[in-house]
Amino acid sequence: MKKITYLALFVILILSSCTSTKKVATVTRDYEVETMGVGKDGTYLIKVTDYFQTADERVYIDGLKKSAVHCVIYRGIPAGNGSLKQPALMNNDTKIEGNEQALSDFFAQKQYLNFVGSIVNSSKSITKIKGSKDFKISLTVSVNKDELRKYLSDNGIIKSLDFIF
């Protein structure tokens, strides 16, 4: 009888550990960014390098644009080529809690494309990763930081600059 009780307890324990758990989505993207200089007022000129499973231009150009805007919002722009380090638009001081869904929709609906300006095709670099099906692709793009900040603050995703004063 004890063996059956232990066996039943063991089966219940195993089955309860097999239930699915809801994972919280985190924003992690594996890309590299290099400052290429300053564009016109309110724009960043940055070289973005990301990894793709295809060298199809329609796929990787959109992905690199997304990575560039993601960097401006979450990471900031590193110093280099005569430019100072620029902080991320969203940080602990500017973030408005509870609007993560609005930012997810921003990327899902490809609204970030409205804030990417010109692409410097002469800077394009495609490298096949040895022993893999992936490609390492680089491209220089300009991101309109001022318009992006205005959009994010108008939609309640980040605080406007007025909170400083």
For the entire predicted model, the pTM comes to 0.77
- pLDDT at res. 128: 92
- pLDDT at res. 3: 72
Q: Tell me the backbone φ, ψ of residue 124, rounded to 5 degrees.
A: -65, 135
pLDDT along the chain (165 residues), means of 10: 68 57 44 86 91 89 94 92 89 79 91 92 88 92 94 88 57
Q: Tell me the backbone φ, ψ of residue 110, rounded to 5 degrees.
A: 60, 35
Instruction: Compute the CA torsion angle 165, 42, 142, 164 (nearest 10 deg).
Output: 0
C-beta of residue 116 within 8 angstroms of C-beta of residue 145 = no
Name the residue type at position 161: L
